[in-house]
A and B are shown apart, each in its own frame.
Chain A
Amino acid sequence: MPYTAWARERMKGQVGGSGGESDFENATDPALKYADPLGFPRQYQHPTKFKIVQTDDHVYQFWEWNKVWRQIPLNKPHADDPDNTWYGESVGKWEGDALVVDSVGFKDSTWLDGVGHPHSEQLHVVERIRRVDAETLRIDFTFEDPVAYTRPWTAQHAFRAVHDDTMGETITTMSDELRYRERFLNQKPPIPIRR
């Protein structure tokens, strides 16, 4: 990864909860430790369903995980000075058979993934979302973040269609997490748990 010195410093002392070098019991992952939202694009990594719905002027994405959603106005520019939010501000347009989604305006407190790759508020993500066949959706990502990475870099993610499109509820809260840790890891909860 083309880290900047800022990114390397930011990663010091951070402990992931998943992945090869993880230490779940001592993870500093904000989504585990504080039940913070996964944020974007990490939301894509959760292995539950998401649904894409297109209307005349918007595309909406709905995730089963924690009932998160985002709106993607079509053929609209970004706001002049968007707020920094967990999921950023997205706008989209069709280029042939690809939906191109441009996102900015992210809080810098989320991780890009469960390993702990950081980003700054200058993160800019472009997604090219294509249905490569009836069963497969592919997203090509381009990440730009001059504070955290010395050059733009790319990644891909493939998704398979599910034909039962019922969306369930999979919500995990701080009380769930503390209860889990008490029961399976014998960690004493720092606050009383609502059960």
Chain B
Amino acid sequence: MNHRTFTTLAVAAGAMLISGSALAHHGRGLIYDAKKETTVKGTVTEFLWRNPHVEIGIEAADPKASPRQWLMEASSTGVLSQRGWTKRSLKPGEVVTVTFHPPVKGAATGDLIKVVFADGRELPR
């Protein structure tokens, strides 16, 4: 039997089918403020490699920070895998600096933009 295979990835460029979003799970316009960026340095308290979104808990290094405990959401495991992330990309106890879109309603959550380790390495975006 003759088999031919071709594997593809959707691209956001060009004419998308109707007006779909590149974000599979949800639009973030009413949850996070895409025009703002917040940066917090802290310690990873949890790294959950799961769907619909990978979750990262961060405890801010500044003991006076308010809030001090943050919960970041990244993309899905499938999308992050394509970028080179794995289930071991982060470990509790690691010191990182995260940049994220802050929440509209003031919850201690964030739409992750980037993660930078203490030695300057950055997780692929």
B residues with CB within 8 A of A: 1-31, 50-53, 55, 71, 73, 76-79, 81-82, 107, 109
Contact = CB atoms under 8 A, between A and B. Distances in A.
A32 B25 CA distance: 8
Interface stretch (A77-85, A102-110, A177-185): A177-185
Interface residues on chain A, size class:
35 or more
Nearest to A158: B14
Majority SS of interface residues in chain B? loop
A49 B9 contact: yes
B17 A171 contact: no
20 contacts: A19-B21, A22-B27, A27-B26, A44-B10, A44-B17, A49-B9, A51-B7, A51-B8, A52-B7, A53-B3, A54-B5, A113-B17, A158-B11, A159-B9, A162-B82, A168-B77, A170-B51, A170-B77, A172-B25, A183-B55
Nearest to B75: A47
Nearest to A51: B7
A46 interface: yes
A73 to B, nearest CB: 15
Given A48-B79, A48-B82, 19 more contacts: A17-B27, A19-B20, A19-B21, A24-B28, A27-B26, A53-B4, A56-B1, A65-B78, A114-B20, A117-B18, A158-B15, A160-B8, A161-B6, A162-B9, A165-B5, A170-B76, A172-B51, A184-B73, A185-B31
